[in-house]
Chain A
Amino acid sequence: MKILGTITILLCGGLLIFFTSDFPDFGDPKSPASIHLSPYFIEHTLEDTAVPNIVTSVLADYRSYDTMFETTVILTAGLACFLLLRIPTKEVTRRYYLHEPTGVTLRFDGDRYPKGSNVFKRIDSNWVPYDIIINFTCRLLIHFIQIFALYVVAHGHYSPGGGFQGGVVIGASIILFAISSNLRASIKRLGEKAAAIFTATGVFIYAGTGALCMVIGEHFLNYSFLAPLLGTDRIMARSHGIFIVEIGVAVAVMAVMIWIYYNLSSAGKQDEGL
């Protein structure tokens, strides 16, 4: 299998490398990819949408159907992880508790764990004492990461950024919190239910904006019909419509990253994880 695979792949790669001589040169302004559709986007983005960042305007306006179904793909991936892995926490019985005054770790089977006591601290089965430097650094960093993420979302019209990037950064900040403290602390702040609802809300904001355009005007995702609602002219309405849609994308992406992390890191138990 290895030899066969190597031969096949070397053959394919050799053919590809051989035929790169027909490809346009690196950085060639006249390459076919750059002369058919993209000049229109570059030259008309300001008069069509009033968004200087062409990537944002193409992503959320010219190709907004594509992006809408990308968010649906993300939602489906989150759901698939959930349906594949999630098992009820009640089936998990063996738990470890640290008696904080003495530092003794106790194992409880079944549901005989100390419920109302506050000297016992729940720990993971592969628990190691937390490093104070990591804990402190992460606690300091997470706020700034989140503020930066909001900036990336909100400033996506004028600088590199947008819903996907900002959403991933917020998701990463919460995953950083889950790694630096533990999974349960993170789930207490943003639970699985919240993650699922946020994911669906994000896709709903996107599709709902499109449907609203259809109700007011006649085209799905044609934001210029939102102009009477937003109190602007038709071109600025497109800019604002893109912003609404980007918020939907950011919410969906953030929640899906967190949801997938919860399910993967705990193999679906969401009881103890990394």
Chain B
Amino acid sequence: MDIVSLIAAKANYWTYVILLMVGLYAMVAKNNLVKKIVGMVIFQTAVILFYVSIGYKKGGTLPIIMHGHDHGHGVDSFIKAADYINPLPHVLMLTAIVVGVATLGVALALAIKVYQEYGTLEEDEIRKQIELKG
């Protein structure tokens, strides 16, 4: 396999792995809680990208049956699965995006609570304050 076709075949996975690493790094190494949340969102986006990209089929169109609106009268009697891209990852990610936004809301609410309690979002300062209290 030469290098161009290798890149064409695997570039989607590499993109997703790089985004995954960026997000994971932000979650692990950043000190600021909002930056950690941003990392979490990047991580989520990477997973969504991965799912959507495995749903793609070469030569397939979007997963809506062509001429299907008149209750199937105009459809060819045989619908080939290879003509349509895989709808299942799209369904899963459709709900995952909305749920991701909702959980992002909860994460930001927690960050607001932390800020109200400690007056800062930097992790080391919060830890210092907790140690002083305990």
What string of 1s and 0s marks CB contacts (under 8 Å) between B66-100 and chain A? Answer: 10110110010001111010111111001101110
Does residue B38 face the partner (Cβ distance < 8 Å to A)? no
Q: Report Cα–Cα, A132/B64, bound state, in Å.
A: 43
Contact at A26–B64, with CB atoms within 8 Å?
A: no
Contact at A256–B102, with CB atoms within 8 Å?
A: yes
Contact at B25–A55, with CB atoms within 8 Å?
A: no
Contact at A52–B60, with CB atoms within 8 Å?
A: no
Using a Cβ–Cβ cut-off of 8 Å, how many residues does chain B contribute to the interface with A? Answer: 60
Asked whether A23 and B13 contact (CB < 8 A) given A80-B106, A84-B113, A257-B101, the answer is yes
Q: Which residues of A contact B88 (CB under 8 A)?
A: 33, 37-38, 41, 58
> Which residue on chain B has the smallest CB distance to residue A73?
B99
Binds B, one of A59-67, A140-148, A214-222: A59-67
> Which residue on chain A has the smallest CB distance to residue B78?
A43
> Which residue on chain A has the smallest CB distance to residue B58?
A27
Q: Which residues of B contact A47 (CB under 8 A)?
A: 72
Asked whether A253 and B98 contact (CB < 8 A) given A20-B13, A55-B91, the answer is yes
Q: Which residues of B contact A268 (CB under 8 A)?
A: 112
Q: Which residues of B contact A84 (CB under 8 A)?
A: 106, 109-110, 112-113
Contact at A74–B98, with CB atoms within 8 Å?
A: yes
Contact at B84–A54, with CB atoms within 8 Å?
A: yes
Asked whether A160 and B21 contact (CB < 8 A) given A29-B58, A73-B99, the answer is no
Within 8 A of B (CB), among A34-54: 34, 37-39, 41-43, 45-47, 50, 52-54
Which residues of B line the A interface, CB within 8 A? 8-14, 17-18, 20-21, 24-25, 28-29, 53-60, 62-66, 68-69, 71-72, 75, 79-82, 84, 86-91, 94-95, 97-99, 101-103, 105-106, 108-110, 112-113, 116
Listed A/B pairs (28) with beta-carbon separation below 8 Å:
A6-B29, A16-B20, A17-B14, A20-B10, A26-B12, A28-B57, A31-B57, A33-B54, A33-B88, A38-B86, A42-B79, A43-B79, A52-B64, A52-B66, A53-B65, A54-B64, A54-B65, A55-B87, A55-B90, A59-B94, A63-B91, A74-B102, A164-B95, A167-B98, A168-B101, A253-B98, A264-B105, A264-B109
